[in-house]
Amino acid sequence: MTTNPLTVPFQSGIELQTISKTGRVPKMRLSDAQKAQSIVANVEEANRPRNRIKAGYKGMFDGNPPMPPSALRNSGQANRFNFNTREAKAKRSAALTPYYDLFSNAKYYAEVPIQTGDYRRDCKWSEIVTEEFDAMLKAYDNFDYVIWSMLADYVGMGRAFIGWEDSRDWRITKWPEDRVQFPNGTPISMDEWELFIVHREFTVDRLYGHIRNEKVAESAGWHVENVKEAIRLAVPADSNSIQDAIKVQQELKDHDLAVSCRSSTVRAANVFVKEFDGKWSRLIVLENATVEQGKAGFLFTGFSRYESVSQIICPFFFETLDDTCNGATGLGKDIMPIMQSKDRIRCAQLDNLFKRMSIVLQAKTAAGMNQIGLVQQGATTIIGPDYNVQQSTIFGDIESTIAVNRDMDVMLERNTGIYQPQIESKPGNPLTLGEFQLRMQQATVLNNSAVSRFYCQLDNPYREIYRRASKPSQPDGKGGELAKSFQKRCVERGVPVEVLQKVGVVRAYRNIGNGSPVQRQQALTALAPLSVRWPEDGQKAFMEDVVSAYTNESKVARYVDTEMAQGLPTDDQSYAMLENAAIKLGAPVTWTPSQNNVIHAQTHLQAGAQAATSLSQGADPHEVLAFLDGIGAHTVIHLQKASQDPTHAPVVKLLGEQLDQLAGIADKLKQKIQANVDQQAQLQQQAQQVLTDTEIKAMEAKGKMALKTQTTQHSMAIKEAKAQQDFVIKDATTAAAIERERLKTQAEIEQDRLKAEAKANSQTKTE
């Protein structure tokens, strides 16, 4: 009895080592290369039916016709229209554009919150680290492409994957969703994962690069001899006959089916296994290996290499029907039946149109069928006598196909929530302005749940990227160089290197507008009336968002974060300051056409205001007045030139009011100086004309007092000189007496010595 293979499902378990009967827990759940290859083959076989269905979605996006061309040829209908309108591709592009907007059109890719306990300092350090982390990501040329290509899988196929080829390098790579395979029933929750496989094709030079330094390669986990054998047996990749449906579809799209011209590669499979200690191991084996190749064993083994699965891969799931990784669905599944029907309707429309455009003849007799012939003479067509011309209006109903196609568009929008539908005119009265704006708003945005779900999944790769990039030790290569440069810039800007490890939750930067520039502009417009109540830094941030929303992020520095906003002087400010110094010294200054009249006027008026303020600090009123007169006259020239530009009218009016205030201060100062001059002149005249008796007596008394003081000082000087002379004489007399006493004592000592010597000599003679 023969069993139909289609009615018996393929069954094979995942043979991983488990706890023994004695209770021993294995350190490695998969330590045999042939078992690993068997698991790879089983999982791939279980995924083939899914891949065949996904190949249909991919073909729809790639431009496959709605009907197999061979089927039309076999049925004698090869002349019928059979083409893909590429509407499905347009729908996918429209759907993924809002997600790309959420990713790319924010101020930064991600936010890095520093948490050391000091709020003010942490805010400053967070800003610095966020800016430098963003600069590092943008310095990686492939980063934007990885996200964009990931979004195509995310929206079109319902799931996408970002991962890391190296356990230390922070640079991400996009793994095609069909190359990441899970056992049946694997849940969406990453905590529940036990095993998954990532298929990989290594070019021989790329694979050899991992073992070039054999000692380093062996310490890293590479089996050098096995890798060399795999390189030796490398062959050009093929589509594995018709079993790999997605591979065949890719070759069909690339027009590679007729002639294959490929480099030799090593087809391998990365097997990731969760160990009993909670860590993850990475094993690499040859894919579809022969018996001889299977004996070669593992190409790479890294047991318990990763702390968690998020250090290996970051999944993105668009929508799931049964909470399993293999049950994820995307736009392709939602629109494929309708899109194929719409393509066939479009083709039928053209078929009918060509029928209407053709000349329809009816043979009068059976013999006339063998004598078909039309004679063309210039613009005239002559029909034979055996035929009657039929009215073509009875053929090819085009209006019905148009109505059905329009109805399918409505159904497509309602059922799938397609973004940015075509705003076509409908039968009947046109839409009002409010209805049109509401439809545009609904048609160009994602709902909040879709945005939140996407951002939560986008947070995961940013967290792992930062964890790797902030480590003190970095691998060789471009990724390590970019990470070291990121850390160095942070330190140069005042962030201690050890602080880079003290971070909170790294998150993707949340952009407003739900992926729609139109809604982002509308939201900012609604917030504009409230911005006047915000603090200065809040108003500045609002201005940056407005400029970014209506232009792009690169224009913020041009319009908001200018040199003046940052407190840095411009060339015009510097030249205007030199003019201020010249005016203070009384030197002449001239106007030139290249000068920025507004900046010059602002700088001059600011200097004038500072000069007026200096009066309260004791500045010379005459010098201040001269400076204000010079500044005022020169500023008038700038304002006259600036008023010729209508766009400067508001600021010229404001500066004119400031100049009037400064002129009023100068006028008051001039009046005060003149009043002081008149008062001093009057007092001087009175002093010259009148000398009262009291003043004369006071002058005489002052003279007598001065003479008496002089006499007293002279007498005291004489007494002091005499006392000094007496002191000197007394001191000399005392010194002379002391000297005489010293000489007398010395003479007595000498006499006693001579007597002693004489006595000693006399005793010697006696003996």
Query: How confident is the model over 665-681, as a mean pLDDT?
Result: 79
Task: Tell me the three-class secondary structure of 182-219, residue by residue.
Answer: CCCCCECCHHHCCEEEEEEEEEHHHHHHHHCCHHHHHH
Query: How many other CB atoms sit within 10 Å of the CB of residue 269?
Result: 25
* pLDDT range class, residue 215, cuts 50, 70, 90: very high
- What the block records as the tokens of 107 is 């101020």
Q: Which amino acid is at 226?
A: N
Please state the φ and ψ torsions of residue 505, each to the nearest 5 degrees: -90, 115
Classified as helix, coil or strand, 10 is coil
* pLDDT range class, residue 148, cuts 50, 70, 90: very high
Asked whether 318 and 403 are in contact (CB, 8 A), the reply is: no
pLDDT at 390 over 50: yes
Query: How many other CB atoms sit within 10 Å of the CB of residue 290?
Result: 10
**Percent of all residues in the chain with a pLDDT value above 90, rounded to a whole number:** 34
Please state the φ and ψ torsions of residue 580, each to the nearest 5 degrees: -60, -45
* pLDDT range class, residue 521, cuts 50, 70, 90: confident
pLDDT at 482 over 90: yes
Distances (CA, A) of 645 to 278, 401, 597, 640, 762: 71, 59, 10, 10, 134
The answer to which of 3-7, 466-470, 574-578 has the lowest mean pLDDT is 3-7
Annotated domain spans of the chain: 573-689, 709-767
Classified as helix, coil or strand, 12 is coil
The number of angstroms, rounded, from the C-alpha of 21 to the middle of its chain's C-alpha atoms is 54
Closest CA to 408 of 330, 345, 331: 345
Check residue 63 and report its DSSP letter. Answer: T
Residue 240 Ramachandran class (φ > 0 left, ψ -120 to 50 alpha, else beta): left
Q: Is pLDDT larger for residue 699 or for residue 553?
A: 553
**Report for 195-204, 440-449, 715-724: range of highest mean pLDDT:** 195-204
pLDDT at 400 over 80: no
- Separation between Cα atoms, residue 64 and residue 66, nearest integer Å: 7
Distances (CA, A) of 519 to 413, 470, 732: 20, 36, 111
Asked whether 307 and 284 are in contact (CB, 8 A), the reply is: no
Burial 49-59 (b: 16+ CB within 10 A, else e): ebbbebbbbbb
The interaxial angle of helices 536-550 and 517-527, nearest 10 deg, is: 150
Query: How confident is the model over 646-657, as a mean pLDDT?
Result: 84
Asked whether 105 and 438 are in contact (CB, 8 A), the reply is: no
- Find the helix or strand (DSSP H, E) in which 734 lies: helix 693-766
pLDDT in tens, 158-194: 999 999 989 999 999 999 999 999 999 999 999 999 9
Q: Return the pLDDT at 421.
A: 45
Q: Return the pLDDT at 309.
A: 96
> DSSP readout, 649-680?
HHHHHHHHHHHHHHHHHHHHHHHHHHHHHHHH
Strand order in the sheet with 173-175: 173-175, 159-163, 313-317
Residue 327 has, within 13 A of its CA and on its CB side, a CA count of 11
CA end-to-end span of the chain, whole Å?
Answer: 167
Mean pLDDT of the chain: 81
Query: How confident is the model over 445-460, as a mean pLDDT?
Result: 84
Q: Return the pLDDT at 356.
A: 73
Q: In 479-523, where do the E strands start and end?
A: 507-508
Query: How confident is the model over 274-291, as a mean pLDDT?
Result: 85
Asked whether 333 and 57 are in contact (CB, 8 A), the reply is: yes
Q: Return the pLDDT at 696.
A: 59
Query: How confident is the model over 704-716, as a mean pLDDT?
Result: 67
Question: CB-based contacts of 176: which residues, under 8 Å, 6+ apart?
Answer: 153
Q: Which residue has the tokens 């499902």?
A: 9
Q: Return the pLDDT at 4.
A: 43
Q: Which pairing describes strands 235-236 and 195-203: parallel, antiparallel, or unpaired?
A: unpaired
- Find the helix or strand (DSSP H, E) in which 44 lies: helix 33-62
Check residue 290 and report its DSSP letter. Answer: -
**Percent of all residues in the chain with a pLDDT value above 70, rounded to a whole number:** 77
pLDDT in tens, 21-57: 888 999 899 999 989 999 999 999 999 999 999 999 9
Q: Which residue has the tokens 């047991």?
A: 303
Exposed, middle or buried: residue 494 (CB in 10 Å: 0-12, 13-18, 19+)? exposed
Closest CA to 526 of 538, 516, 513: 513
Q: Return the pLDDT at 40.
A: 92
Q: Is pLDDT larger for residue 521 or for residue 258?
A: 521
Asked whether 228 and 357 are in contact (CB, 8 A), the reply is: no
pLDDT at 600 over 80: yes
DSSP lists the bridge partners of residue 272 as 196, 282
Q: Return the pLDDT at 9.
A: 47
pLDDT at 213 over 50: yes
- Separation between Cα atoms, residue 703 and residue 499, nearest integer Å: 82
Q: Return the pLDDT at 492.
A: 95
Asked whether 296 and 229 are in contact (CB, 8 A), the reply is: yes
Q: Which residue has the tokens 């003679």?
A: 765
The answer to which of 50-59, 101-110, 197-206, 646-655 has the lowest mean pLDDT is 646-655
The number of angstroms, rounded, from the C-alpha of 32 to the middle of its chain's C-alpha atoms is 44
Query: How many other CB atoms sit within 10 Å of the CB of residue 68?
Result: 11
Q: Is pLDDT larger for residue 211 or for residue 254?
A: 211
Query: How many other CB atoms sit within 10 Å of the CB of residue 528?
Result: 10
Query: How many other CB atoms sit within 10 Å of the CB of residue 439?
Result: 13
Query: How confident is the model over 402-417, as a mean pLDDT?
Result: 73
- What the block records as the tokens of 473 is 């030790």
- What the block records as the tokens of 372 is 């078909």
* pLDDT range class, residue 6, cuts 50, 70, 90: very low
Query: How many other CB atoms sit within 10 Å of the CB of residue 505?
Result: 11
Q: Return the pLDDT at 293.
A: 45
- Separation between Cα atoms, residue 90 and residue 753, nearest integer Å: 138
Q: Return the pLDDT at 370.
A: 65
Q: Which residue has the tokens 């310095």?
A: 139
* pLDDT range class, residue 481, cuts 50, 70, 90: very high
- Separation between Cα atoms, residue 364 and residue 42, nearest integer Å: 67
Q: Which amino acid is at 295?
A: K
Q: What is the number of helices (H) and of strands (E) in the chain? A: 23, 17
Listed in sequence order, the DSSP H helices in 367-432 are 398-416
- What the block records as the tokens of 189 is 């929750």
pLDDT at 614 over 80: yes
Query: Using alpha carbons only, how large is the chain's radius of gyration in Å?
Result: 49
* pLDDT range class, residue 667, cuts 50, 70, 90: confident
Check residue 498 and report its DSSP letter. Answer: G
pLDDT in tens, 717-753: 656 656 666 665 566 666 666 666 767 777 777 777 7
**Report for 67-76, 88-97, 113-122: range of highest mean pLDDT:** 113-122
Q: Return the pLDDT at 170.
A: 96
Q: Length of the chain in residues, anyone? A: 767
